[in-house]
Structure 1
Amino acid sequence: MQHLKYLSAYPNTLQDKVRRLIAQQQLGAYLDARYPSKHAVQSDRALYDYCSDLKQEFLRVAPAIDKVFYDSKLDVLRHALGLHTAISRVQGARLKAKKEIRIASLFRDTAPEFLRMIVVHELAHLKESDHNKAFYRLCELMQPGYHQIEFDLRLYLTHRDIARSKVA
């Protein structure tokens, strides 16, 4: 029985369905049918603009974002797909906090829904620091169907790991 590290928190019945898709080599086809296109947000500047537009639409009163970029080391070193940080610096008598959002570079080549989901997730942390009900309500407001897309992203990561292990 195959261990599904990205799906370990889900019920066994659901994991069994995914295992069947993997065994029948249908997981890739399922994902391609649901998410056939790739997004056009390729540069760090375009990613910053994308995040800023979403923030302006849903979180006008949240703190400003100072930097947004694709991070090629993020998923490897931190086991995270996105990261939000506040870097504090002393400037004279003032303490300034700069907000950064880092998105794993693997999102450069994914479906637009996956990029939006991870950006929405990191933006929601500007308002809600914990993964609580209010946090997920905010995610759902910014991206309807958030939970399904998050699950499908976990399927995508599983499929990606399987494809990598076959090459290695």
Structure 2
Amino acid sequence: MQSMKYLAHYPADLQEQVRALVDAGRLGSVLAERYPNTHEINNNAALYTYVMARKRADMASSPPLTKVRYCDKISTLSNALGTHTYATRVQGAKLKTKHELRVASIFKQAPPEFLEMIVVHELAHLRGREHDKAFYRLCCHMLPDYHQIEFDMRLWLTWLDLGSPR
């Protein structure tokens, strides 16, 4: 039986539906039909421009980002597809916080909707560090189909994990 590590917390009947698609060899074609487009955001400069435009549109009053990059070291095996890190330093009598956003390099070849979902998720961490209801409400505010796109991205990662070409 094939590993469904990206779908482990979903109900068993949903996992069985996905397993049936995999066994029939249709998972890739279903995803390609649903997400036929590619994006041109394949370097750090383009990613920075994209993220900053998204931040200005949805979260203008949030703290500024000092760095936005693709990262080869982020591993989907460690349950991370993107990271938001911050460092607080003392400067005189004030505290200064720098925020960095990193996206796994695998999303250079992903459909644009998946990249957008990861960016929205990491931008939401500027407002909330925990994955609580308010956090996901903000994600859905910025991207109304957030949960469906996240599920489809997990299907795509499962498809890649089973040895399918990118």
TMscore range, shorter length? over 0.9
CA shift digits 1:79-126 (9 cap, x unpaired): 310000002234444432110000000001111000000000000010
TM-score (norm 1): 0.92
Amino acid at match of 1:157: L
- Structure 1 117/76 Cα, relative in aligned 2: closer, same or farther at 3 Å? closer
Amino acid at match of 1:154: R
RMSD: 1.6
- Hey, what does 1:122 align to over in structure 2? 122
Amino acid at match of 2:133: K
- Hey, what does 1:32 align to over in structure 2? 32
Equivalence map 1:13-162=2 (5 Å) = 13-75=13-75, 78-162=78-162
Instruction: Give the 3-state SS of the residue equivalent to 2:41 in structure 1.
Output: coil
C-alpha displacement of 1:2: 2.5
Instruction: Give the distance between the partners of 2:76 and 2:147, measured in 1 at CA.
Output: 24
**Identical amino acids, percent of aligned pairs:** 51
Instruction: Give the distance between the partners of 1:103 and 1:133, measured in 2 at CA.
Output: 23
Higher helix share: 1
TM-score (norm 2): 0.94
Where structure 1 has 5 or more consecutive residues not aligned to the other structure, the ranges are none
Instruction: Give the distance between the partners of 2:29 and 2:78, measured in 1 at CA.
Output: 29
1:4 partnered with 2:4: yes
Amino acid at match of 1:163: G
Where structure 2 has 5 or more consecutive residues not aligned to the other structure, the ranges are none
- Structure 1 108/96 Cα, relative in aligned 2: closer, same or farther at 3 Å? same
Instruction: Give the 3-state SS of the residue equivalent to 1:74 in structure 2.
Output: coil
Instruction: Give the distance between the partners of 2:96 and 2:78, measured in 1 at CA.
Output: 25
